[in-house]
C-alpha cells in the first residue's frame, strides 16, 4: 500500500515539467518584422529583416574601413579572417568578403545576426582575394532580436519587438500559474501520505 503512491510520483513530475515548459513558451517575447524588406544592397545570412540604411552612414563606414585597411595602398588583397577592421565609433567588426569571417574565433559570434552589404563596382574595384577573384560583400554582425541590418550599420528594433502579453499581465519567471498549483496539490498530498 505504501509503494502505490510512490509509483505515481514520477508521472506527476513529468506532467509538472511539461506544464512548466508550456508556460515558459508563452512568456517569451516575439519579434515581429515588417512583411517586406526594401533592401537592395543589404541582406542577412540568417534571413531576418534588413534595410539599406542611411547612405551618409554607409559612406562614412566604408571610408573608415578602407582608410584603416588599405593604409594608403592603392589595391588590397584579402588574405584571411585577420583582415578584419574594428570601428570604435560603430562598436563592431567588419570583414571584406564572405570567405573567412566565420573563421575568426575571437570576433565572430555565432549568436549574432550576420549581415552582408553588397558593394558597388566603384567600392570594390581595388579590393580582391589573393587568388584575384573579386570581393563583393562587407560582412558585419548585429545583436540578434535587438538590432537589424541597416546598410553598413545596425538599427535598433524599437518598434519591432512586441511582447505577446500586455505589460500589466507580465509574470516573473519564478511565479507559477494556477495550472501548476492544481498539479502541485496532488503531488504534495501523495508525498504527505507516504
Model confidence pLDDT, tens digit, residues 56-92: 998 998 888 887 666 666 667 677 656 677 888 888 8
Residue 104: per-residue pLDDT: 66
Every domain of the chain and the residues it spans = 3-29+165-193, 31-162
Nearest alpha carbon to residue 38 among 156, 151, 131, 141: 151
Cα 163 to Cα 30: distance, rounded to the nearest angstrom: 6
Residue 28: per-residue pLDDT: 42
Average pLDDT, the chain: 72
Residue 182: per-residue pLDDT: 64
Cα 54 to Cα 187: distance, rounded to the nearest angstrom: 59
Burial class for 54, CB neighbours closer than 10 Å (0-12, 13-18, 19+)? middle
Which stretches of the chain score pLDDT less than 50?
1, 24-33, 35-36, 163-164
**Strands ordered across the beta sheet of 50-51:** 50-51, 147-150, 153-156
**Computed over its alpha carbons, how large is the radius of gyration of the chain?**
26
Express the helix, strand and coil content of the chain in percent, nearest 5 each.
Answer: 35, 25, 45
Amino acid at each position: 500500500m505504501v509503494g502505490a503512491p510512490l509509483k505515481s510520483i514520477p508521472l506527476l513530475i513529468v506532467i509538472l515539467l511539461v506544464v512548466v515548459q508550456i508556460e515558459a513558451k508563452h512568456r517569451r517575447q516575439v519579434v515581429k518584422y515588417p512583411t517586406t524588406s526594401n533592401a537592395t544592397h543589404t541582406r542577412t545570412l540568417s534571413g531576418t529583416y534588413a534595410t539599406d540604411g542611411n547612405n551618409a552612414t554607409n559612406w562614412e563606414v566604408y571610408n573608415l574601413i578602407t582608410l584603416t585597411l588599405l593604409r594608403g595602398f592603392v589595391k588590397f588583397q584579402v588574405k584571411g579572417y585577420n583582415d578584419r577592421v574594428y570601428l570604435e565609433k560603430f562598436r563592431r567588426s567588419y570583414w571584406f568578403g564572405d570567405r573567412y569571417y566565420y573563421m575568426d574565433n575571437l570576433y565572430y559570434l555565432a549568436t549574432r545576426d550576420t549581415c552582408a552589404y553588397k558593394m558597388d563596382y566603384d567600392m570594390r574595384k581595388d579590393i580582391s582575394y589573393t587568388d584575384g577573384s573579386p570581393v563583393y560583400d562587407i560582412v558585419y554582425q548585429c545583436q540578434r532580436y535587438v538590432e537589424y541590418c541597416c546598410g553598413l550599420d545596425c538599427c535598433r528594433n524599437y518598434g519591432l519587438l512586441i511582447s505577446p502579453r500586455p505589460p500589466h499581465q507580465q509574470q516573473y519567471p519564478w511565479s507559477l500559474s494556477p495550472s501548476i498549483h492544481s498539479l502541485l496539490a496532488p503531488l504534495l498530498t501523495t508525498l504527505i501520505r507516504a
